Structure 1
Amino acid sequence: MEAHESVTELIGNTPLLRLRTSGGSQSAVVYGKLEYLSAGGSVKDRIGLRMIEQAEQDGLLGPGGTVVEASSGNTGLGLAMVAASRGYRMVVVLPDRTSSEKVAALRAFGAEVVLRPSGLPLEDPEHVLKTAARIAEETPGGWLAGQYDNPANPQAHYLTTGPEIWRQTGGRITHLVSCIGTGGTISGTGRYLKEVSGGTVQVIGADPASSVYSGGDGRPYFVEAAGHWRHPETVEDVWPQSYHQDVVDRVLPIEDRESILTSRRLAREQGLLVGGSAGTAVAAALRVAAEAGPEAVVVTILPDSGRQYLTKYFDDDWLLRLGFLDGDPATVRVGDAVPAATRERPLPYLNGRTTVADALTALRELRERGERAVLPAGPCPVGPERRPTAPELAGSVALDRLAEAVASGAAVPGDPVAGHLAVPLPQFGTGQPAEKALAELTERGLETAVVLHDGHAIALVGAAELRACLPA
């Protein structure tokens, strides 16, 4: 019989598929390694198995034990699948921005899911990493997988992913392109390929443009399972020990829009339903192929399936709300109500540490200039030349309401404004129909909204501006 004894035997050994490119005869051939065809649906199956096996060998995990991990979803799924097959309890701590499909899949494996806010500095005791460590310590028989610093993470790829790619390409690979999350995939795979090729294989990281790995400022981005986000109030930015920077030759920054639209094109043009990080990796691989020449062989890792992101990257409404789609050009859109000059300057923004007195000053200056006296606000600072992302817009401050709070004694001028934030302003993407945005504002009895483009706040728009741009 051709049969397997355990689901863990179905992890890895994923196929290579030649991707269609538009580079013509002068571009290198590009192959995608389809990690979403592994048993648990992602590249993280490999480390889930390897980390648990190593913990068992080291006596850290035994019968009746509990596996605990902080994850953006895929590592949790890989661990949960292996844990279920071996009879372990599984607890996964996730950021609250994780896709609903991943949460549902984890629970389907019997894992207990603990959600924590995603916008916390590393030192906060409620941060996902701190929470997971605390649960593991307080749980009898608990073991923290710790993918970020666990040497079994890159080792899994050194032992499996690298050799598979070398064998599948007949040793012809010249470039490896992989996203960097924990760093295990690119570090382990890249090290093997460099060693076996005598150092000729180049290893290129693909990274969200705002991730610190590629030199970004660490602000939130919209591609899950890639990059390194840094809260501005994090005291020490500690990079994962699983990421071996000496293996990586360079890192290419890829904007969220390019990543997401590349994922969508792979589904619609090549029948590959993959996640946003695969879009990041393929976008980078196409750049590498264009410059590498026709003799090169580029292999890129496609980490997971798009089935986990159907309510995000493949949902037109979600993308329109965030401004990642441009909408119907035959329709008046929200972006049409934003003057070009307004788009070119950063949106005024308050952070939670701004004092009430300073907030009042800023709001009064707006009113004196004839502008609306309301501003979006968030819990942490945003640089003066940077537009805040949608996740950073945690509230709003209006002049009249704040002045009334001071007059009544409910607010003190020296107080941080964080304690006096109103609910966030409504948000509309530049590509959404202006008529629908106006209808929503009218229904809610509101006058002002934030306009988003590619997930960033670029302007405020009022009902009057929306009304004015619509045909009579």
Structure 2
Amino acid sequence: MKYAKNILETIGNTPMVKLNKLTAGIDALVLAKVETFNPGNSVKDRMAVKMIEDAEADGRLKPGGTIIEGTSGNTGMGLALGAIVKGYKLVCVISDKQSKEKMDILRAVGARVVVCPTDVEPTDPRSYYSVSKRLAQETPNSWYVNQYDNLSNTAAHYEQTGPEIWEQTEGKITHFVVGVGTGGTISGVAKYLKERNPDVKIWGIDTYGSVFKKYHETGIFDENEIYSYVTEGIGEDILPKNVDFSLIDGFTKVTDKDAAVYTRRLALEEGIFVGNSAGAAIKGVLQLKEHFKPEDVVVVLFHDSGSRYVGKMFNDDWMRERGYLDDEITKAEDLIKDHSDKPLIVVRTEELVSHAIDRLRKYKISQIPVIDVEGFVGSIDETDLFRSYVEDKDIAEKPIKDIMGKPYPIVQANTSIEEISKLINKDNQAVLVDLGDGRHHIITKHDIISSIK
């Protein structure tokens, strides 16, 4: 009989799949190494188990111990499988930008999940790097994995992933393209492939907000490049020991929007339901197409499953909020379609200024139309309100009609954005859209800016 003794024995030997539609404009054979076929649905299963086994072998991880790691979710899943099979406890420290699905999955496989803020320096005591280290110091019989600097990470891909790719392509691979996070995958695979054929080119996919590309090209660690980004699983604000820059021929950066859009396109056009870094990786391949010749064999690695991003890249509302969906926006009704069902916030002429202030604060808005029994008769703007307050500290108890400005212009639902833009200026901060049946909605400068792709 053929069977695995436990789930860990099913890791590896993932399929290589030819890409067709998305790569139609590339003069080369493009193959995807689809790592979602691992039992934990990501490439990280390979290095997670390798790190555990090496730590067991040298005594860093003892029977009944607690594994502690900072993770974007996928390494945590691989560690969870190892912890379950081998009898360890697991604490995963994760940043708050990671998808809810990742956090829920980790809890489902028995991990304790600690969530930390994303927008802090790595050395900040609240960062998931710092919290991981602190928990390891405070927890008896624990082992801090540190996937970034743990070279068993690279070793796993040198021993497994690299040889698989070489064998599956019969040694014909000419380019390997992969997103770079901890650096273990690119460095381990690169080391193996270049030992077999030094001419194989290794390309890393980086994201805007990460330091890898510039550091590789200049040797400069530029802190000005570090800022928050949406793409998960690739890019860093540190230089992990697992990133061997000497093995990497070049980097290309992919925007958050392109990574998200191409993640969806992989599902819709290739039938490959994979995660956010895969979208970045295939867009990176397209950006590098001038480097490929017809006889080349390009292998791109897809890290994880799309199931971890159903609330993000595969959710239209999430995509639209960030301007990632290329909906055609030409008219007033296009600008407000996502919130046209919400009631228009107004104040009445005889209400007090304090009521307007309460509504500005409660609804987090900057402008409010003023009405009376006849209709729209004025407006309240937070800038004018502030100016009035500076002049008169007792203004809160005065009626709205005493300080209100001119009423906002009213446009029809089919009015062009160009016409609306002309109406919004330093003297007029908004326009109202007539939706019919006595319903109106407000358009502000923020709505216009948000429509820019």
Asked if the contact 1:96–1:115 (Cα under 8 Å) also holds between the matched residues in 2, the reply is yes
**Are the counterparts in 2 of residues 289 and 298 from structure 1 also a CA contact under 8 Å?**
no
How has the CA–CA distance of structure 1 residues 22 and 119 changed in structure 2, closer, same or farther, with 3 Å as cutoff?
Answer: closer
The answer on whether the counterparts of 1:92 and 1:113 sit within 8 Å (CA) in structure 2 is: yes
- Whichever residue aligns with residue 208 of structure 1, its letter is T
Secondary structure of 1:333's counterpart equals: helix
Instruction: Tell me what 2:74 maps to.
Output: 74
Instruction: Check the 8 A contact 1:267/1:273 in 2, yes or no.
Output: yes
Letter in 2 for 1:193: L
Equivalent residue letter for 1:257 = K
Secondary structure of the 2:84 match is helix
Q: Secondary structure at the match of 2:164?
A: helix
CA 1:156–1:400: 2 relative to 1, 3 Å:
farther
TM-fit CA distance, 1:164: 0.4
Asked whether the equivalents of residues 179 and 226 of structure 1 are also in contact (C-alpha less than 8 Å), the reply is yes
Whether 1:5 and 2:13 are equivalent positions in the alignment is no
The aligned counterpart of 2:231 is 223
Q: Deviations over 1:298-321 (max 9, x none)?
A: 001000010000000000010001
In angstroms, what is the RMSD of aligned CA positions? 3.2
Change in 2 beyond 3 A, CA 1:291/1:448: same
Q: What is the aligned length?
A: 361
Alpha-carbon displacement from aligned partner over 1:385-420 (angstroms, at most 9, x marks no partner): xxxxxxxxxxxx978569969999xxxxxxxxxxxx
- Structure 1 residue 123 and structure 2 residue 157: aligned? no
Unaligned 5+ runs, structure 2: 215-223, 338-364, 368-381, 394-416, 421-431
1:201 counterpart residue number: 200
How far has the Cα of 1:117 moved from its partner? 1.0
Percent identity for Structure 1 against Structure 2? 39
Match of 2:151 in 1: 151
Measure how far apart 1:34 and its partner are.
0.5
Matches within 5 A, 1:17-416: 17-21=17-21, 27-197=27-197, 199-215=198-214, 217-228=225-236, 230=237, 238-329=238-329, 332-334=333-335
Alignment partners' CA distance in 2, 1:219 and 1:170: 41
Taking the aligned partners of 1:406 and 1:299, their CA distance within structure 2 comes to 67
Partners of 1:208 and 1:255 within 8 A in 2: yes
- CA distance in structure 2 between the aligned counterparts of 1:263 and 1:103, rounded to whole angstroms: 20
Partner Cα distance (2:153, 2:300) in 1: 19
Structure 1 CA distance, aligned partners of 2:154 and 2:392? 59
- Unpaired runs of 5+ residues, structure 1, are 231-237, 337-372, 376-396, 409-430, 460-472
Larger radius of gyration: 2
What is the identity, as a one-letter code, of the residue corresponding to 2:225? D
Structure 2 residue matching 1:17: 3-state secondary structure: strand
User: Alpha carbons of 1:138 and 1:457: their partners in 2 closer, same or farther (altered >3 Å)?
Assistant: farther
- Residues 1:281 and 1:24: Cα distance change in structure 2 (over 3 Å): closer
Q: For the Cα contact (< 8 Å) 2:329–2:451, is it kept in 1? A: no
CA contact (8 A) 1:25 1:294 kept: no
The answer to whether the 8 A contact 1:21-1:30 is kept is no
Amino acid at match of 1:170: E
Deviations 1:40-97 (A, max 9, x none): 0001101110100010001011111000000111111111111111110000001111
Deviation digits for residues 415-436 of structure 1 (CA, Å, limit 9, x no counterpart):
xxxxxxxxxxxxxxxx9xx9xx
**Distance of 1:285 and 1:13 partners within structure 2:** 23
* Farther-moved stretch of structure 1 (82-91 vs 279-288): 279-288
Give how far 1:220 is off. 1.6
Q: Which amino acid aligns with 2:212?
A: Y
Q: Give the Cα separation in 2 of the matches to 1:82 and 1:449.
A: 52
SS in 2 for 1:220: coil
Note if contact 1:23-1:290 (Cα within 8 Å) is conserved in structure 2. Answer: no
Give runs of ≥4 in structure 1 deviating > 3 Å. 21-26, 287-291, 328-332, 397-408, 445-453, 456-459
CA contact (8 A) 2:433 2:443 kept: no
* TM-score between both structures, scaled by the size of structure 1: 0.70
